[in-house]
């Protein structure tokens, strides 16, 4: 250690990495960007201009029963998360984007204007989780019947098991 | 008359009822109702290795009006159940249903909100074929079981008892009281 | 002549109608959705809009018919419901309605332990069983941070390429039959039986094999697998030339597929199409070469790319992908190393059955693994492979327990179906069958 280095330089944490203003974490060797809900459309547009030309997947996760998860410092964990996977053909790179969506107001901007291929995936997230995507051209159920009530993949929606002879009734073993 | 002595070899005699049953079971035409993985095995049964054509069944009719048999091949979801019933209703009597695979028979491994737990909740089933998916041999066994049931008339007897079916009269059977058409659940 | 008034649907129709999910009269459709149903990939700032006025005549709404194809129809692509607005025989708008095979598999996945997860996942895209299983297993192994032995990975690659063969053979069969070449159906299945009998010898099942599990594979390859696999390759390769002769140069087949179901590069990228649908437009993107996984960087193969984005290109791509798969299989047969077929971590993989009689520890491990399962540390990851239909990806969220907290499968057919309105616009109803068949959707994956 050279005598020019001070104590503060050794203990000071590295500045958080930002991609278009949104903090980045690493998960299992993959890069994950965490914009907040308001910044999300801008970040996605910037990422698309960066060369992430295909939106591979849009899905949602309901963290009701397991709120604790890896998030950048200072980010508030909400009940729902919308997860977007992007790929850049030129750079041969993947990127994941995770947005926190609160239960009280489960709405987030739609990616349809940027990536029309997200249309069916956002409908699925709406159908199974109840997350609304503003700006989506046709936000209706896609997998469940038209008149179904409830959003099946939410954690407070039971799996719907029918009791079967010789098997204990509760779903989890 | 000259030449008539050998004609006795050229005649078959039998009961009309047996002839009708023979005709019915040897040309059962399935309606294509392949839903999921079992449909692939059903198509494999129709292909040359397992050859459903030797039983007269290779013509999978697109229109249920022209079909005798509905092989429900695959898992029936909540959204598909009314469609299943509508296709079944469009078939003409006599009609039979084989529930192919465990998903159609009982919901299979999917005991959840999305799958009808057994297609017999929606249509009356004659033969259940277990397997996930049942191989072509199992499906052929189910088909031959159905043929056997047609041959013995067991199916028609059961239908009379429960009131299902359109109340057909076969010569030789006891006359049936007029029965209402079974209403869907 | 006045049109009859629109009446409320009767009970039978109401029972099978899906209300807001269906294709409606233009007056009842939002303009953005209308343009999407007409095949316009739109609202990009650069104005990449397909001009709806590209039809020669703008047809008035009361001169068109909205008809319904499916969900039960003989085109053997599963329970896809396609609603079409037709002007005579020409398709103006179309909308696929899916969900008729929704099985709640992602919900069921949360109830199954990791060792059982393959049984569920393998039934999603039921023609690409090993791909589904591999995606799930690799995602679990990534979070578990176990290293799978080399032999297990090579076995996975072998089975995946054989699965690609069997899936493309089924495509050839159904594509041929949909276009009228019924004998192609029988040939395709005849070849498929060869591959399926190898699957049965190795895994015990012809389909839905539940063979690739977290930690490796369930059992080693059977004795005599090399000659069996090589005989499959030797049998199928010349028959691919026969199919070439039967179909590729045949004028009727060409008329029915060339120029039918065209999609442009920009549209395919914007609609998240992958696999042969994307490659038919000329974009050379194959995960095996561009983002190599497993040992695909150690084997040689070509990526087959089309030019015109039509149904013929997609057929030709799949035919040649079969040849590439056979080439890959032969290399894998030569390169297959010895070793373990699953990771020797007692906490993850069950002990061999014989050990259970000898060792109390083995018995306890076996018991615990099959009643409680192994726990995967909390984390999330996304893993993708190149399945016969495109990019098949799995997003796994683990919470430290023995069951996945959330597992989402990114299915290629779900995204590829979004290209249908683009491909069908301006074509005939008869072309709709050819186009659906050329996309080769598997509804199990679409609906999960």
The tens digit of pLDDT for each residue in B80-100 reads: 998 898 888 888 878 899 999
CA atoms within 13 A on the CB side of A101: 26
Contacts of B1 (CB under 8 A, 6+ apart): none
List the beta bridge partners of residue C83: C68, C95
Q: Any residues with CB less than 8 A from the CB of B55 and at least 6 apart, and which?
A: B26, B28, B140, B143, B144, B147
Instruction: Tell me the range of C82-86, C195-199, C352-356, C428-432 where mean pLDDT is highest.
Output: C195-199
Identify whether the C-beta of residue C32 lies closer than 8 Å to the C-beta of residue C417. no
- Return d(Cα B39, Cα B17) in angstroms, integer: 33
For C386, phi and psi rounded to 5 degrees? -95, 100
Query: What is the C-alpha separation between B92 and B66, in angstroms, rounded?
Result: 8
What's the gap in Å between the CA of A21 and the closest CA on chain C?
Answer: 22
Strand partners, C390: C387
The Cα–Cα gap between C108 and C116 comes to: 11
Residue from A144, A166, A169 to probe the interface with B (highest B Cβ count within 10 Å): A144
C-alpha distances (whole Å) from C401 to each of A172, B85, C49, C144, C373 are 12, 42, 48, 12, 9
Burial of C358 (0-12, 13-18, 19+ CB in 10 A): exposed
CB nearest B40 (choices: C71, C104, C126): C126
Q: B142, B127 in Cβ contact below 8 A?
A: yes
Q: Give the pLDDT confidence of B30-74 residue by residue, as tens digits.
A: 987 889 999 999 999 988 899 898 998 888 888 899 998 999 999
> Per residue in C207-262, pLDDT tens?
999 999 998 998 899 999 999 999 999 999 999 999 999 899 899 999 999 989 89
Rounded to a whole number, what is the distance in Å from the CA of B36 to chain C's nearest CA? 6
Mutate which: A33, A42, A57, vs C, most C CBs within 10 A? A57
Helices (H), chain A: 7-11, 40-50, 119-129
Domains and CATH numbers, chain B: 27-162 (3.40.50.12280)
Cα nearest neighbour of B82 on chain A: A145
The answer to whether the CB atoms of C119 and B49 lie below 8 A apart is: no
pLDDT grade for C413, boundaries at 50, 70 and 90:
very high
pLDDT tens digits, A42-91: 999 999 898 899 999 999 999 988 888 888 888 888 899 999 999 999 99
Q: How far apart are the two ends of chain A, measured CA to CA in Å?
A: 56
Residue to mutate among C16, C119, C125, C440, with most B CBs inside 10 A, is: C16
Contact assessment for residue B72 and residue B36, using Cβ atoms and an 8 Å cutoff: no
Share of chain C above pLDDT 70, in %: 92
Chain region(s) in chain C for CATH 1.10.645.10: 105-447
Count, residues in chain B: 185
- pLDDT tens for C357-382 read 888 888 888 888 888 888 999 999 99
Whether the CB-CB separation of A20 and A52 falls below 8 Å is answered with no
Distance CA C273, CA C267 (A): 9
Weakly modelled stretches of chain A, pLDDT under 50? 1-9, 12, 169-173
Q: Looking at domain C105-447, which CATH architecture does it have? A: Orthogonal Bundle (1.10)
Neighbour subunits, C (≥3 Cβ pairs < 8 A): A, B
Q: Give the integer Cα–Cα distance in Å for B28 and B140.
A: 13
| Phi, psi at A28, each rounded to 5° | 55, 40
Phi, psi dihedrals of residue C380, rounded to the nearest 5°: -145, 150
Nearest to A117 among C272, C371, C378 (CB): C272
- For B14, half-sphere exposure in the C-beta direction (CA atoms, 13 angstrom radius) is 9
Torsion of CA B19, B20, B22, B27, to 10 degrees: 140
From the list A69, A115, A171, the residue facing C111 with the nearest CB is: A171
**Do residue C16 and residue B82 have CB atoms under 8 angstroms apart?**
yes
Per-residue confidence band for B177, with pLDDT thresholds at 50, 70 and 90: very low
Q: CA triplet B168, B170, B171: central angle to 5 degrees?
A: 145
Domains of chain A: 15-134 (3.30.460.80)
Q: Is C420 exposed, middle or buried (0-12, 13-18, 19+ CB in 10 A)?
A: buried
Instruction: Kindly write down the DSSP assignment for every residue of C178-212, as one continuous string.
Output: HHT-HHHHHHHHHHHHHHHHHHHHHHS-SSS---E
pTM across the whole model: 0.88
CB-nearest partner of B117 from A143, A158, A162: A162
For B7-12, the CB contacts below 8 A with 24+ separation are: none
Instruction: Find out whether B176 and B167 touch, Cβ atoms under 8 Å.
Output: yes
Nearest Cα residue to C365 out of C382, C384, C348? C348
| Cβ–Cβ under 8 Å, residues A133 and A110 | yes
- Say yes or no for a CB contact (<8 Å) between A54 and C272: yes
Q: What is the CA radius of gyration of chain C?
A: 24
Residue C12: closest C-alpha in chain B: B86
Residue C41 has what pLDDT?
63
Range list of H helices, C259-378:
265-270, 276-279, 287-290, 311-335, 353-358, 360-371
Residue B129 pLDDT: 94
Closest CA to A60 of A85, A87, A23, A89: A85
* Minimal C-alpha gap between C233 and chain A (Å): 32
A68 neighbourhood in chain C, CB within 8 Å: 378
SS3 sequence of B149-166: HHHHCHHHHHHHHHCCCC
């Amino acid at each position: 250690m050279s005598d020019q280095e001070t104590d503060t330089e050794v203990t000071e944490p590295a500045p958080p990495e930002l991609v278009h203003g949104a903090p980045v974490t690493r998960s299992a060797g993959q890069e994950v960007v965490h914009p907040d809900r308001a910044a999300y459309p801008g970040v996605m547009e910037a990422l698309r201009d960066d060369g992430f030309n295909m939106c591979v997947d849009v899905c949602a996760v309901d963290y009701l029963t397991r709120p604790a998860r890896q998030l950048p410092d200072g980010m508030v964990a909400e009940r729902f998360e919308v997860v977007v996977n992007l790929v850049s053909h030129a750079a041969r790179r993947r990127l994941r984007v995770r947005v926190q969506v609160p239960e009280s107001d489960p709405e987030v901007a739609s990616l349809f204007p940027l990536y029309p291929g997200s249309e069916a995936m956002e409908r699925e997230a709406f159908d199974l989780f109840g997350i609304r995507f503003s700006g989506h051209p046709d936000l209706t159920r896609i997998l469940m019947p038209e008149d179904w009530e409830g959003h099946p993949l939410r954690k407070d929606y039971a799996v719907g098991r029918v009791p079967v002879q010789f098997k204990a009734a509760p779903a989890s073993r | 008359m000259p030449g008539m002595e050998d004609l006795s070899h050229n005649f078959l005699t039998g009961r009309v009822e047996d002839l009708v049953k023979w005709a019915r079971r040897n040309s059962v035409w399935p309606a294509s109702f392949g839903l999921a993985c079992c449909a692939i095995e059903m198509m494999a049964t129709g292909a040359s290795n397992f050859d459903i054509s030797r039983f007269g069944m290779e013509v999978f009719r697109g229109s249920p009006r022209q079909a005798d048999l509905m092989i429900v091949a695959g898992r029936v979801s909540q959204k598909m159940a009314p469609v299943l019933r509508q296709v079944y209703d469009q078939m003409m009597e006599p009609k039979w249903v084989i529930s192919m695979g465990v998903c159609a028979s009982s919901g299979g491994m999917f005991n959840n909100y999305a799958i009808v737990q057994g297609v017999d909740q929606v249509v009356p089933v004659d033969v259940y074929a277990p397997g996930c998916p049942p191989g072509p041999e199992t499906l052929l066994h189910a088909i031959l079981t159905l043929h056997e049931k047609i041959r013995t008339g067991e199916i028609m007897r059961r239908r009379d008892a429960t009131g299902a079916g359109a109340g057909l009269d076969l010569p030789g059977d006891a006359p049936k009281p007029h029965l209402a058409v079974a209403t869907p659940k | 002549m006045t049109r009859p008034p629109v009446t409320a649907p009767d009970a039978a129709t109401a029972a099978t109608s899906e209300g807001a999910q269906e294709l409606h009269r233009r007056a009842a459709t939002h303009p953005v959705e209308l343009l999407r149903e007409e095949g316009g990939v739109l609202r990009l700032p650069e104005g990449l809009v397909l001009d709806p006025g590209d039809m020669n005549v703008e047809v008035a709404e009361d001169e068109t018919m909205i008809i319904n194809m499916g969900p039960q129809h003989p085109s053997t692509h599963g329970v896809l419901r396609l609603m079409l607005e037709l002007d005579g025989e020409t398709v103006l708008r179309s909308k696929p309605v899916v969900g008729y095979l929704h099985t709640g598999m992602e919900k069921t996945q949360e109830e199954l332990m990791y060792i059982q997860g393959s049984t569920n996942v393998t039934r999603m895209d039921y023609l690409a069983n090993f791909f589904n299983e591999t995606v799930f297993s690799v995602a679990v192994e990534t979070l578990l941070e176990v290293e799978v032995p080399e032999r297990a990975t090579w076995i996975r690659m072998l089975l995946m390429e054989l699965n690609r063969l069997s899936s493309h053979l089924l495509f050839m069969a159904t594509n041929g039959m949909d276009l009228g070449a019924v004998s192609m159906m029988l040939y395709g299945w005849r070849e498929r039986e060869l591959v399926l009998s190898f699957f049965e010898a190795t895994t015990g099942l012809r389909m839905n094999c539940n063979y690739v599990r977290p930690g490796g594979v369930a059992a080693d390859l059977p004795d005599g697998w090399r000659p069996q696999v090589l005989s499959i390759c030797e049998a199928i390769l010349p028959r691919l030339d026969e199919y070439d002769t039967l179909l590729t140069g045949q004028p009727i087949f060409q008329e029915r597929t060339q120029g039918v179901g065209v999609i442009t590069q920009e549209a395919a990228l914007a609609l998240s199409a992958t696999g042969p649908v994307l490659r038919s437009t000329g974009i050379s993107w194959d995960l095996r070469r561009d983002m190599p996984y497993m040992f695909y960087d150690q084997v040689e193969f070509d990526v087959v790319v089309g030019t015109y984005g039509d149904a013929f290109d997609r057929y030709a791509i799949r035919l040649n992908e079969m040849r590439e798969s056979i080439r890959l299989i032969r290399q894998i047969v030569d390169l297959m190393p010895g070793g373990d077929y699953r990771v020797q971590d007692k906490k993850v993989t069950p002990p061999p059955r014989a050990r259970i009689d000898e060792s109390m520890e083995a018995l306890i491990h076996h018991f615990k693994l099959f009643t409680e399962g192994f726990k995967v540390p909390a984390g999330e990851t996304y893993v993708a492979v190149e399945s016969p239909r495109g990019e098949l990806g799995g997003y796994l969220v683990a919470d430290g327990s023995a069951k996945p907290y959330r597992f989402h499968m990114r299915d290629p057919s779900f995204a590829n179906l979004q290209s249908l309105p683009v491909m069908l616009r301006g074509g005939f109803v008869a072309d709709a069958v050819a186009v659906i068949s050329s996309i080769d959707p598997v509804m199990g994956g679409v609906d999960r």
